[in-house]
Chains A and B, each alone.
Chain A
């Protein structure tokens, strides 16, 4: 996956900043295992019942290939106290943040405590 692969490639930069990437999707456990193996430095979280995504309101209704709901690509920075520091959602789902943009956001919105 382009997005996760790019984040995985930059794992040392995230580690330097003591930042853990949590990759969340509505895939099932079997797929999540595969994803975790492919991207060992990311923490892969699956949400096959969509409860987490509904709680945080990050679903894009009727946009999955089968007509169901799937994730609206969203990036949320959370500091070590569990406080949200930044939320980014592109206006179109083809757009993704580049890892350099995520790192820049971390340095700007969430400077080290």
Chain B
């Protein structure tokens, strides 16, 4: 009588598959969470994204150990690179230099001149009066 295919003799092709898909999921989770945060207008450094990608690397490594296939190796290499790029980007590329300029708390703001959108000048002398001001230096249209 033929033995039924059951848990005592699992399909070797399925070995580690859960790790593989967990890795793919974790890798995509970081950018997805960041997109949600961005949509909710919360701008902060998404350290969780490279951390999740690193967990994804561990999952994919476990998947490769259980069964070595081209697709698992490819996913491992791709996700490892993705994690490395994210760590480098957040740790190094987006780092701002510490402020060492002439603006000092408790001192008058240095003389400056900019332009309003109608072309008229806007200078530091206009900061004196009945209103207080918040100068916001922004970058990028996002």
List residues of chain A with CB under 8 Å of any chain B CB: 1-7, 14, 17-26, 29, 31-33, 35-36, 43-48, 51-53, 55-58, 60-61, 64, 70-87, 89-96, 98, 102, 106, 110
Q: Quick check: A22 and B41 within 8 Å, CB to CB?
A: no
Tell me which of B114, B134, B137, B141 contacts A19 (CB under 8 A). B134
Q: Is the CB of B96 within 8 A of A60?
A: yes
In the complex, chain A residues whose CB is within 8 Å of the CB of B103? 56-57, 76, 84, 87
Cα A44 to Cα B114 with chains together (Å): 10
How many Å from the CB of A3 to the closest CB on chain B? Answer: 6
Partner-contacting stretch, out of B23-31, B58-66, B115-123 = B115-123
Nearest CB of chain A from residue B109's CB, rounded to whole Å: 5
**B138 to A82, Cβ gap below 8 A?**
no
Q: Report whether over half of chain A's contact residues are helix, strand or loop; otherwise say mixed.
A: mixed
Interface of B is mostly: loop
> A2-B142, A3-B136 are contacts. A45–B105 as well, Cβ < 8 Å?
no
Is B4 an interface position by the 8 A CB rule?
no
Total interface residues on B, using CB and 8 Å?
Answer: 52
User: In the bound complex, what is the Cα–Cα distance between A48 and B109 (angstroms)?
Assistant: 20
- Please state if B44 and A57 are interface contacts (CB–CB under 8 Å): no
B142 contacts A53, C-beta separation under 8 Å = no
Q: How far is B97's CA from A94's CA once the two chains are assembled, in angstroms? A: 13
CB-nearest residue of chain A to B41: A2
Q: Distance (Å) between the CB of A88 and the closest chain B CB?
A: 9
B82-122 CB contacts (< 8 Å) to partner A: 90, 94-117, 119, 122
Give which listed residue, B41, B42, B109, B139, contacts A76 with CB less than 8 A.
Answer: B109
In the complex, are the beta carbons of A4 and B117 less than 8 A apart? no
List residues of chain B with CB within 8 A of the CB of A2. Answer: 38, 41, 43, 142
> What is the bound-complex CA distance between A18 and B129, given in angstroms?
11
A78 touching B132, Cβ below 8 Å: yes
Whether A19 pairs with B99 at a CB distance below 8 angstroms is no
Residues of B close to A78: CB separation below 8 A: 109, 127, 132-135
**B106, B116, B129 — most chain A CB neighbours (10 Å):** B116
Looking at A45, A51, A58, the one whose CB has the most chain B CB atoms below 10 A away is: A45
